[in-house]
Amino acid sequence: MARPNTKPVTLALLVLALLLAGVGYFGVGAGRQFAADRSFRPVRVPSPTAAPPGVAALLSAASAPPTQSRPAANPPVPTAAGVAAALAGPLGDPELGSSVAGQVFDARTGALLFDRRSQDSVAPASTAKLLTAAAVLSVYAPTDRFSTRVVAGAEPGTVVLVGGGDPTLSAAPAGQAPRYAGAARITDLASRVRTALHGVEVQQVVVDGSAFTGPGAAPGWDPVDTPSAYASLITAAMVDAGRDRADDEIRSAEPDLAAGNALADALGGASVSLGSAPPDGAVLGQVHSAPVDVLVEQMMRSSDNVIAEVLARQVAIATHRPASFAGAAEAVRAVLADAGIDIGTGMVDGSGLSVQDRIPAAALAGTLLASLGAEHSRLRPLLSGLSIAGWDGTLLDEDRFSGPAAIAAGMVRAKTGTLTGVSGMAGLLTDADGRLLVFSFVADQAPSEGPSRIAVDNLVAALVRCGCR
């Protein structure tokens, strides 16, 4: 079963990416993804208070190609008839299959320019991460961080690692950069514990993951998903987004114990088990995650399923719901409903990895439109986390925006979604007249992965090529 791909995030890695493509797992090499994660730098575009920025402004903030053209000051408005005419040919591509849903909006006015089955529930694949990103940014400030604590255990020589839902806590050894930029480090946590213990030897590390509840895998996840290169079981304590070691390709079969083992190693060796922290255990050390806006960008840029699921649970915690798959889905649904975005009742996870996920296609474009407005400006990291066509993230690949669709390179910023039978994309683009458009397309009965992704690229490229008047 095909699963969402992850790609590098800077042009400097392009040559490395091409060299590693042949050793990929679902098309992506371990070294390639590790280098992508290590090289990530957040964009952190400021929130606007007036008109939304054009794609070019966002690209500029991301150190985009210098040839990127800027939108005109007052470009003409496309017409619905013009957009429909531009999309008619690409929509007829048999590689899209029999079920295509989508919308196109003018970003400046919010005018609907195209609608096809937008109220129908479709399988979103990884475009669902737009919804998780919007929800977590709605309930946390961009600068908020998640903490991981170590407290004294009930017995002498025992310490308890209390997972707080930090997905990128790093097990990288001292002197080695963490896999994820800005990540808290187990080595720092261990140093603080040693200082607090005044030389007392740690013989036992207990891992308390009670911040999260329910099963570690969602309904609709395939057994091969956990562990894999793109997913692990979801636990409150983990290191390096569910890996045993920072440079591993395949994620851990027991991410909570992997976190405990990393702490035990940093403390000089101790046995590790699962358990609970005593209610009155003294705090021996604490570290804090990267800020929420950075975690969102990391999740979006490489389409990281594990980070997405942990962030969805953080939405559940913030809204006083069980931090489980079901609780997280309900929390995301409720938070977005407060923002006027209806995602229906068909979401079962926060990443889009489940084949059971269903949402109205309108929720995707609606989320992007909300993030452009001043009323929901706190959602802005969602936009700066979108990949740039032909430049970074999941839109940098050998078959993306190539051939006739190459005209869209640098003109599109979007989130992709790919599962077996599903190809989708939602984002922003600048048309031939310099008008900023918001779009979403999902083909959830696509006959094949590669050709259907190209067909979706062609839909988007048709809008870039068109003045659509």
Instruction: Please identify every residue annotated as catalytic.
Output: 126, 129, 303
Query: What span, in angstroms and rounded, lies between the C-alpha atoms of 154 and 275?
Result: 11
Kind and range of the H or E run holding 106? strand 100-106
Q: How many CA atoms lie within 13 A of 146 on its CB side?
A: 28
Query: What span, in angstroms and rounded, lies between the C-alpha atoms of 255 and 237?
Result: 7
97: helix, strand or coil: strand
Write the single-letter amino acid at 258. Answer: A
Q: How many CA atoms lie within 13 A of 459 on its CB side?
A: 31
Write the single-letter amino acid at 384. Answer: S
Listing DSSP states for 202-223 in one string gives P-EEEEE-TTS-S-SS-TT--G
Query: What span, in angstroms and rounded, lies between the C-alpha atoms of 120 and 101?
Result: 8
Mention every residue, 6+ apart, whose C-beta is less than 8 A from residue 369.
105, 107, 110, 438
Residue with the two structure tokens 């926060």? 350
Query: What span, in angstroms and rounded, lies between the C-alpha atoms of 243 and 69?
Result: 41
* Rg for the chain, CA atoms, rounded: 22
Assign residue 94 a region (left: φ > 0; alpha: ψ between -120 and 50; beta: otherwise): alpha
Residue 25's Cβ-count burial label (10 Å; 0-12, 13-18, 19+) is middle
Query: What span, in angstroms and rounded, lies between the C-alpha atoms of 326 and 345?
Result: 11
Query: What span, in angstroms and rounded, lies between the C-alpha atoms of 234 and 271?
Result: 22
Residue 126 has φ and ψ, to the nearest 5°, of: -75, -5
Kind and range of the H or E run holding 34? helix 30-39
